[in-house]
Amino acid sequence: MFNLYHCKSCNEVFAFTPFDKYPEYQDLSEEGVFMEKPLDDSDMLMVKHKGHDLEELKPIPGTTISERDYCEPVKEVYFEATNGRKRFVIKKWRKNVNEPMEYELIHVSLKIIVYSCEVREKEIKKEWLRVMPEPLMEKTMAFLTILKETAIETKAGKGTRMIFETSNPLMYYQGLNQRCIKMVLKKLKDVVTPLELKEIRTFIREQNQADGVIPLMIRKKFFIEKAEEKEVQPEGSAACVPSKIKPIPVRIRPVEYQI
């Protein structure tokens, strides 16, 4: 991600991107004749803020969040950035697809939580009935029941790097960890034969992938609250990872976003 600049004199935030130097094309006639008009938005910004007190802000990876899909061109996006000492929340948006992105430094905190962790019963059942041998058809619900119970008991997604993104930043899929898989198979020993257990083990292994039906559906939501600015340790120090911004009590109701 590109870096941002905060003009302390104007209290404005702007970014330099490769698109700043792209030309503009004007339609001069009904026959479709276009004229190229050179542009350089970065030079215009530097002229506007010449002599001002500027500081560079570096976006913090993994903090970007929005209530709309990644591909949506018109939306509000929030992310955190730091000047090396403090961290801030940046709001990014555009009014329509023909307008450039606008940025604003806002004194709030972002709180992102997981509020839903679902076993995809419909998809699992459909795939189970398609690939499993006849004797296991009657044990579909037993498998789903044990899987749901065990996923809750073991916090099935914890400790695994098998995270599969979707088109929406508030939803993703997460594969089962090994502890959950072992417990599911252990509980099934009282329900199925050894041969059937082997079939189920293969089913879980093959379907616990990005294109499989086993990964859990995780839904998140985020809150925007007023917050105090938080100091950030300098790079290279033992605690260089920014700590969470602690919200302060406010009378306004926090804004909540979820899907």
pLDDT at 37: 74
pLDDT at 255: 54
pLDDT at 228: 57
The whole-number mean pLDDT for each consecutive block of 10 residues of the chain, a chain of 259 residues, reads: 82 79 70 72 73 89 89 93 91 88 88 89 95 91 93 70 86 90 94 94 95 93 73 44 36 48
User: Whole-model pTM?
Assistant: 0.69
pLDDT at 236: 45
At 160, the amino acid letter reads T
> b vs e for 139-162, b when ≥16 Cβ sit within 10 Å of the residue's Cβ?
beeebbebbeebbeebebbeebee
> For residue 159, is it left (φ>0), alpha (ψ between -120 and 50) or beta?
left
